[in-house]
Amino acid sequence: MDFANFAWTGVDLFFVLSGFLISSQLFSQVKQGQVISFKTFFLKRFFRIIPAYLAVVAIYFCMPFFREKKGLADLWRFLTFTQNFGLDLSKTKAFTHSWSLCVEEHFYLALPLILIGFQKMKMISKAWWLLIFLFLMGFVTRIYSYEHYWEPVSNNHGNWPVWFKYIYYPTYNRLDGLIMGVSIAAIYTFLPKLWSNISKYSYLFFIIGLGLLTIAFYLCEDQMIFFTSAFGFPLIALGYACLVIAAVSPNHFLYKWNSRVTTFVAVLSYAIYLVHKGTIHMTLEVLKDKELNENVLMLICMATSVVAALLLHWIVEKPFMKLRSRITGAK
């Protein structure tokens, strides 16, 4: 079994990290007794996410040769972050990885509004019930989607896009990682004694996380079976959540690890996410007549993706982040 086949779970790690980082910021305000400002939160996320995203969307629509495959969703879906609903891979194949950004944007919209609502009702201490409800609802929606949309057509191998359309892409089926991240942030912020006890066992959580991901690696080999569809996503999210717990625990080596390489990758991660497929496609097109080793091609594609990400970072991201600092005072 090829470990590359498990690479699709990387987005689940991204969801756990995002859930932890974003909710930690908001929970810190709640703990200090501050009223959450949706306007301030929205502006911070807007300048961080939207300019670079719109720049890449413009490239996809204005420069067809950048598209890694034929078929591009309607512009209005990109502008409204709704392309992950009803996304049919048999027709739409370019820039489909932006589905995960749609999930993120829905999270950015919902989380502060939910917290503001709980603040006004003075029910913040009861908010954890919502996490449990949403987590359990994920099982319900995925099982329903599997039984009503995928199972009736699953015997036809050519219908595989149906599974992605109704189970893999929709936001309501992919909240597990975000919920795990929010839960970690809640314990970290509001239950310091519990967090202190948990962090003492950071290496145990690290081992448990690796163990859960190893189990998921074998049990979720086929993405489209019932187990993966119903239980695979939360299992993978739990595995990555354990790794995140270890990584944010002061006594763990991941917390103490200060690497310029990882910092560099972290800074460019969003830009790489946006441009990597189109850049790799163009690179392979340019080199298609060259007789190059696959490993050499891979290294060249990695290099061109980093260069493209750097250009996007310098030309778009950095200027708008400076503008964000002037407008909101955020660093």
pLDDT tens digit sequence for 130-150? 999 999 999 999 999 999 999
Q: What is the pLDDT of residues 44-68, one digit of tens each?
A: 999 999 999 999 999 999 999 999 9
| Domain layout of the chain by residue ranges | 3-255, 258-331
Q: Give whole-number Cα distances, 31 to 23, 130, 295, in Å.
A: 12, 18, 50
In the chain the first and final C-alpha atoms are separated, in Å, by: 44
> Which is more confidently placed, 330 or 140?
140
Q: Is the pLDDT of residue 2 over 60?
A: no
Q: Is the pLDDT of residue 161 over 60?
A: yes
Query: What pLDDT is stored for residue 229 in this prediction?
Result: 96
Query: What pLDDT is stored for residue 262 in this prediction?
Result: 77
Reported as a pLDDT band with limits 50, 70 and 90, residue 93 is very high
Query: What pLDDT is stored for residue 158 in this prediction?
Result: 84
- Secondary-structure percent of the chain, ordered helix, strand, coil, rounded to 5: 80, 0, 20
Q: Is the pLDDT of residue 69 over 60?
A: yes
Q: How many residues does the chain have?
A: 331
Q: What is the pLDDT of residues 182-222, one digit of tens each?
A: 999 999 999 999 999 999 999 999 999 999 999 999 999 89
Flag the least confident range among 15-19, 106-110, 218-222, 238-242: 218-222
Decide: helix, strand or coil at residue 199: helix
Taking residues 212-233, report their average pLDDT.
94
Decide: helix, strand or coil at residue 30: helix
Reported as a pLDDT band with limits 50, 70 and 90, residue 330 is low
Residues of the chain above pLDDT 90, percent: 85
Reported as a pLDDT band with limits 50, 70 and 90, residue 331 is low
Q: What distance in Å separates the CA atoms of residue 221 and residue 230, rounded to the nearest whole number?
A: 14
Query: What pLDDT is stored for residue 328 in this prediction?
Result: 83
Query: What pLDDT is stored for residue 129 in this prediction?
Result: 95
List the Cα angle 13/14/20 in 5-degree steps.
90
Q: Is the pLDDT of residue 1 over 60?
A: no
Type of residue numbered 170: P
C-beta separation of 137 from 143 below 8 A: no
How many alpha carbons lie under 13 Å from residue 306 in its C-beta half-sphere? 11
Residues of the chain above pLDDT 70, percent: 98
Q: What is the pLDDT of residues 236-295, one digit of tens each?
A: 999 999 999 999 999 998 888 877 777 888 899 999 999 999 999 999 999 988 888 888
Q: What distance in Å separates the CA atoms of residue 202 and residue 249, rounded to the nearest whole number?
A: 6
Name the burial class of residue 71, with classes exposed (0-12), middle (13-18) and buried (19+) by CB atoms within 10 angstroms of its CB: middle
